[in-house]
Structure 1
Amino acid sequence: MEFEADTAVRSAAQDAAGLIAAMPRLVLEARRIAASVYHGLHGRRRAGTGENFWQYRRFNDGEPSSRVDWRRSARDDHLYVREREWEAAHTVWIWPDLSASMVFASPLVWETKRDRALVLAFALAELLVRGGERVGIPGVMNPSASRRIVEKMAESLIHAASLPQSLPPAFAPSPLAEVVLLGDLWSPTREVVASLAGLASSGAHGHVVQVCDPAEETFPYSGRVEFREPESGATLTIGRAETVRADYVARVATHREAIRREAERRTWSFLVHRTDRPASEVLLALHARMSGGHGAVPPREGTAGDGADQTGHAA
Structure 2
Amino acid sequence: MQSTATQPAGAMTAMLAQTRDLDLVIRHVLAGLGHGIHIGRERGAGVEFSEYRAYAPGDEWRRVDWKLLARADRYFVREAERDSHVAVWLWLDATASMAEPSREINGIDKLWFARTVLACVAAIAQRQGDAFGLVVCSGGKVDYMPAARGPRQLQRVLAALNKATPQGELPSAETLRASLHFARAPGMIFAASDFLDWPSPLSEALLRLRNMRHDVRLLTLRTQAEVDASFKSGAGYRDPERDDGLHRMSNADREHYKQQSRAHFGSVAASCRQHNIVHYEARIEQPLSGVLRSWLQLAGARAR
Equivalent residue, structure 2, for 1:302: none
Distance 1:235 1:59 in 2: 68
Distance 2:219 2:37 in 1: 21
Equivalent residue, structure 2, for 1:77: 68
Q: Contact between 1:182 and 1:209, CA under 8 Å: does it hold in 2? A: yes
Q: Map Cα deviations across residues 209-252 of structure 1 (whole Å, 9 max, x no partner).
A: 111111111111354222111123433333x6111111111111
Equivalent residue, structure 2, for 1:106: 102
Equivalent residue, structure 2, for 1:282: 291
Equivalent residue, structure 2, for 1:54: 46
TM-score scaled by structure 2?
A: 0.74
Distance 1:142 1:70 in 2: 33
Q: What is the aligned-residue RMSD (CA, Å)?
A: 3.4
Mapping of 1:45-194 within 5 angstroms? 48=42, 53-55=45-47, 57=49, 59-60=51-52, 66=56, 71=61, 72-73=63-64, 75-77=66-68, 79-83=76-80, 85=82, 89-110=85-106, 111-138=108-135, 139-157=143-161, 166=170, 169-170=176-177, 171=180, 173-174=183-184, 176-191=186-201, 193-194=203-204
Say whether 1:201 aligns with 2:211: yes
**Cα distance 1:42–1:147, how it changes in 2: closer, same or farther (>3 A)?**
same
Structure 1: give runs of 5+ residues left out of the alignment: 1-20, 297-315
Q: Contact between 1:209 and 1:271, CA under 8 Å: does it hold in 2? A: yes
Distance 1:195 1:70 in 2: 45
* Secondary structure, aligned partner of 1:24: coil
Q: Percent identity?
A: 16
Distance 2:244 2:154 in 1: 36
Aligned length: 267
Q: Which amino acid aligns with 1:54?
A: G
* Secondary structure, aligned partner of 2:186: coil
Mapping of 1:222-301 within 5 angstroms? 222-238=232-248, 241-292=250-301, 294=303
Equivalent residue, structure 2, for 1:16: none
**More deviation in 105-114 or 67-76?**
67-76
Distance 2:36 2:123 in 1: 14
Q: Contact between 1:128 and 1:134, CA under 8 Å: does it hold in 2? A: yes
Distance 1:214 1:123 in 2: 23
* Secondary structure, aligned partner of 1:277: coil
* Secondary structure, aligned partner of 2:176: coil
* Secondary structure, aligned partner of 1:231: coil
Q: Contact between 2:94 and 2:164, CA under 8 Å: does it hold in 1? A: no
Say whether 1:217 aligns with 2:207: no
Equivalent residue, structure 1, for 2:3: none
* Offset at residue 281 of structure 1 (A): 1.0
Q: Which amino acid aligns with 2:176?
A: P
Distance 2:261 2:81 in 1: 48
From 33, 37, 55, the equivalent of 1:37 is 33
* Secondary structure, aligned partner of 1:151: helix
* Secondary structure, aligned partner of 1:137: strand
* Secondary structure, aligned partner of 1:229: coil
Q: Contact between 1:55 and 1:82, CA under 8 Å: does it hold in 2? A: no
**Cα distance 1:251–1:43, how it changes in 2: closer, same or farther (>3 A)?**
closer
* Secondary structure, aligned partner of 1:235: coil
Q: Contact between 1:92 and 1:136, CA under 8 Å: does it hold in 2? A: yes
Distance 2:48 2:203 in 1: 45
Q: Map Cα deviations across residues 159-205 of structure 1 (whole Å, 9 max, x no partner).
A: 78997965793316245311111011112435454233222121112
**Cα distance 1:184–1:36, how it changes in 2: closer, same or farther (>3 A)?**
same
Q: Map Cα deviations across residues 82-124 of structure 1 (whole Å, 9 max, x no partner).
A: 557555x511111122221111213312211111111100011
Distance 1:276 1:158 in 2: 20
Q: Contact between 1:102 and 1:113, CA under 8 Å: does it hold in 2? A: yes
